[in-house]
Structure 1
Amino acid sequence: MFVVYTINSFLRRERLCPKAFKFFNSWTLREGFKELVVEGWRDEVLAKLNPLSSFKARLKNVKKQMKEWNRNEFGSVFDRIKGSEAQLLAIQRDISLDTLNLQLAMEEKEARSSYVAALREEEKMQNLNHILEVVKFDGSTTADATLIKAEAVHYFSTLFGDSQMREIILPNSMSFHSSLDDAHWQALVVVVSEEEIKSVVFQCKDSKAPGPNRFSAIFFKFSWDIIGQDLVKAI
């Protein structure tokens, strides 16, 4: 008998490919989450780090805290889904062999309810990370999943063109000389204020795709009173 492992399963088994961190917006609704951020942000980092590296190191500390907290807080949800699903399948197998057994029918009903409840809890936990609605080209808003998919296809098809390659030709007569006056040049090198940075952060939609650090915009808004000063220094 031969056992075949895919590369991905082997890496996971050997812990060479750790599971990527994912921030769930619903975490901000859980009691004690802000205290978790405070604790992680206060963890020591190297004093010699520049503000940007220090900010990244603190995010890394918070991420470590969140991973452990997530396992303790929500790990039971996924275990409950697996357990209730296995129980439901086992009862349904027994029913297939004894279709007139009323006791099994009652047990199947209870097991199904437990399974559905666990799925709903998982959905509630993850729902805030889904795209719930989009604004269409005609200005109307839709929350229908099928229309959201169609609108995404339409948007990017329009953005990048049709399947036929189109050449973009820049005429030789096009001018690339500077069109900025001295006032605009000076505006480009002015130090950005804390109010401007905060304004930009809070204008980002909560559902905006996360950056390389995997934290969504809602994390920075929610934790601004904790991390705001360090973010301003980093910028």
Structure 2
Amino acid sequence: MINFLSKLKAVKTQLKCWNREEFGNIFTVVKEADQRLSFLEEKLQQYEEPVLESDPLHCQIHDARTSLSRLERMEETFWKQKAWNNWLEEGNRNTGFFHVLAIERVRRAVITAIQLHSGRIVESQEDIKIEVARYFHRLFSAGEVDQGEDLLSSIPSLVSAEDNTNLLAKPTIQEVHHAVLSIPRDGAAGPDGFFAAFFVGCWDIVGQDLLNATIFLVIACRLRKLLPSLISQEQGAFVQGRAISESIALSQELLRELNRKVKGGNIAIKLDMEKAYDRVD
């Protein structure tokens, strides 16, 4: 894994050099292309007589427009990748929007202060690092847990021995390829900054290296086949085809009826599921 990340880092360095040599500053290039097109169009307007379509000036204007359009698409792609925006469809183009979104994403990623359980506000970056490390160390530290063998024996086993064997089997290159293809092309697979389109397009080169680096994707694909038999029909979140907003709407409807007079009265209970989902034990 470390070797693969080192390779990606080296590739990124070379790609940055290639980008500077091949395209330069995309914003400067777009501005120059726009100025050239304006110059040619002004030159055309200075002709006193109509200019034939076959005139070299018309060809130059056509080439300038084509070049500007191509560069503007490159600029749009630049901001789209910066913003990691997956939902804006073709046709709703707005370079300024992507620019603002990318800046906002960077701003939101900065933690300026955190509040501790005691209520104290911590603003120093060094203190924030210490408290964050302390929180996750406590969160991912397993304590004494009562296994509850009697209780576990009453829970039916839904994963067969064959399913378990398949889950534990060593990933194959075909499974990794399928997992990579399942990632949105313009969505990054991780913090390395490489989009899935890179791994798909360069599969023949990076496929073998990805075999050990994307095990979590393979496991997710394997588990996806078992989920229908493991997840209750009553669960409304984290299931494909179901939305947590439906549960919120249902809860609101029930709360509206809470004051209705019935025999025995009504009561609503909110359960804190932090211990069930937020700790390794």
* TM category, shorter: 0.3 to 0.5
Q: Compare CA radii of gyration and give the structure with the larger one.
A: 2
The normalised TM-score by structure 2 is: 0.37
